[in-house]
Amino acid sequence: MKKNIFVACDFTSQDEAINLIEQIKNHIFGIKIGLQYITSTGVNGVKALSKFNLPIMYDIKAFDIENTIKGFAKSLKEIPISYATIHLLNGEKTLRSVVEEAKDIKFIGVSVLTSFSDDDMESLGFKNDVVSQVQRLVKIASKTNLHGVVCSPHEVKKVKKMDSKLLTFTPGIRLEPNNDDQKRTMTPKEATNEGSDYLILGRPLTSGNPKENIQKIIKSLE
């Protein structure tokens, strides 16, 4: 039974990614590839994963001037992906132009990284705390035709209250409390109960035995 789970393939090896997906492909919705995989394997690495016929999320978190971002969006048409991430800090005008440039791709706006806390926001010069900043950015997303937003599970209900049409993609999913770099976390069940549309799972799936891990996650969602 498939769940609304994207597996984060944070590998530098194409073979490692393929081996992982082979083990859990019948239980996940899609594949998320980020900077490590994209930089190491290039377009051929992306094409290699398309054989699974699962939606691929190109998690590049694009953030640049409008002209460059439009060029980025145009280049995505040549890659077999379904989703791409872009920072909401690009602003409404740039976000609109990106969606218009590549209409076949579902763009997802990145709000505040799940590794950030209120203290991190202050140290970076933001006047808002995490929740306020997410809400501010969601207002921007609502004015565009973005498919959804990336946020932590803690902000899902606030996002849905502001714009029920925006789908929520939530990293920061952990089966139990941890001391890693993720600061705003929830279990798969908690995140689902909050209304998360898609869970993004990396280390909880890839550390140890992926087949056993996916079964634990599925059981926890029951």
Domain residue spans of the chain: 5-220
Q: Give pLDDT tens digits for 102-155.
A: 889 999 999 877 777 778 777 778 877 888 888 999 999 999 989 999 998 999
What pLDDT score does 183 carry? 59
Question: d(Cα 146, Cα 70) in Å, to the nearest integer?
Answer: 15
How many CA atoms lie within 13 Å of 195's alpha carbon, on the beta-carbon side? 15
Q: Is 79 exposed, middle or buried (0-12, 13-18, 19+ CB in 10 A)?
A: middle
pLDDT at 177 over 60: no
Q: Give pLDDT tens digits for 183-222.
A: 577 899 999 999 999 999 998 898 889 999 999 999 988 8
The helix (H) or strand (E) run that includes residue 56 is strand 56-62
Q: Is 52 exposed, middle or buried (0-12, 13-18, 19+ CB in 10 A)?
A: middle
Which residues have a catalytic role annotated?
A: 61
Q: Which fold has domain 5-220?
A: TIM Barrel (3.20.20)
